[in-house]
Amino acid sequence: MDRNILAKSERESRKRKLRARVIDSGTAVPFPDEEEQSESRESDRRRRKLRFAAVLSAALLTAAGVLGYRLYRENHQYEEIAVLWEKEVAADASSGYEAYGENLLRFTRDGASYLNRKGEEVWSQPYEMKSPFAAVCGDYAAVADRNGYRIYICDKTGCLGTVTTELPVSRISVSASGVTAAVLEDAKSNLIAFYDKTGKKLQVEVQTTLAGNGYPLDIAVSPDGMLLMVSYVYLDEGLMQNQVVFYNFDDEGQSVKDRLVGGFKEYEDSIVARVRFLDNTYACAFAQDRLCFYSLEHTVQPELVKQVDINGEIDSICYSGEYVGVVVSESGGPKRLFLYGASGKELFSEEISGEYEHVEISGSQVLLYREAQCRIYNVSGKLRYEGALPGGTDKLVCLGERSYLQIGSQTMRELELK
């Protein structure tokens, strides 16, 4: 009996507890206090602001670090240059070198070879030439025998075609598509002939005579192979004069007589010994006393966009796809290095001391060097290094921000600024 009463009492107790937990359906569910909600929202905002500030600070610190490092690289002058590796190369007094992409083209009287940045031979092309010279543009290179009759057209895989000419070759220029132009000399006239990358002669040529359009001192083909730039000397009432002429061999040039789309005679008797396309839009003519920058934006109407008069004597010139440089011996003063952009804008000028046999633009740096000495500038005019090189130097090529390939008569080295 007692157990039944006890069990009943427990059941009644559980029922009372359940009833106490039940919420009447007519009673609204209570919400948190508004003040508590406001404090919670403010706390969330503070946390978000703190997170944003932390992320922003990290981003600013990273950007500042990158900018600081970039400024350091651009303005830092290095004191030492170290040899990373060194290897022997076959000695040949006739060896010539051209920067070829990130690597190197070597040409001698016995053949041409393509060397990678470790000095390893990728391919070689044997031939026999008395006076080899080369032209490079993009992935293509052409090697010819000056006053000889052979031209070899190559890309980075090897020789693609061979040209045998009927007249001696005096000058060549190659495009980034492999189209090669060559000046072929005769006793009375000259011919500018064109060949595709396999060596096949194209049905395009320019005949020249001294009494007519003149003798071609230098030629340049645009990277796309569609335009030809020529420096001519010609006779005018018995006086030797100079002019720069542009030809268009694209479809646009068909409507123009002899495809001659532009001629510039403001040089008079100032000899233009070198003409070069910097890219498909800009070209430069190097005269004795001036630099002339041309725009080919309108391919049937070339335009002289900038003439830079030189006060002094031009000792050396250099150029790349973006820049033009000259070393000038100023009248009664020291030598100066001037660097210009492709449109003719002066980027910097810097007084230089010492004699340098080579001045080149390699990558985004200007290299002045001779034997065992060099001076290196970036394109902002900051001196990066001035000092000794380990051994003799026939060619110096920029491989990267601080690394260089040095080629001597019997040795090849990779160097690094320290």
Strand partners, 373: 370, 388
Average pLDDT, the chain: 88
Place of tokens 């075609």: 161
- Give the global pTM: 0.82
pLDDT interval class at 34 (50, 70, 90):
low
What span, in angstroms and rounded, lies between the C-alpha atoms of 181 and 140?
A: 13
Place of tokens 């725009």: 295
Between the CA of residue 147 and those of 144, 151, 240, 304, what are the distances in Å?
Answer: 9, 11, 24, 33
Identify which of 376, 265, 364, 373 has the alpha carbon closest to the alpha carbon of residue 321.
364
Q: How much is the average pLDDT of 114-132?
A: 94
Place of tokens 């029922």: 15
What span, in angstroms and rounded, lies between the C-alpha atoms of 345 and 339?
A: 9
Beta strands 358-362 and 346-352, pairing class: unpaired
Q: How much is the average pLDDT of 310-317?
A: 93
What sign does the CA torsion over 63, 66, 70, 76 have? positive
pLDDT score, position 117: 87
Q: Per-residue pLDDT tens for 350-394?
A: 999 888 999 999 999 999 999 999 999 999 999 999 999 998 999
Is residue 62 predicted with pLDDT exceeding 80? no
The segment with the largest mean pLDDT, out of 33-37, 136-140, 398-402, is 136-140
Higher-confidence position of 409 and 369: 369
Q: Per-residue pLDDT tens for 279-292?
A: 999 999 999 999 99
Beta strands 411-417 and 365-370, pairing class: unpaired
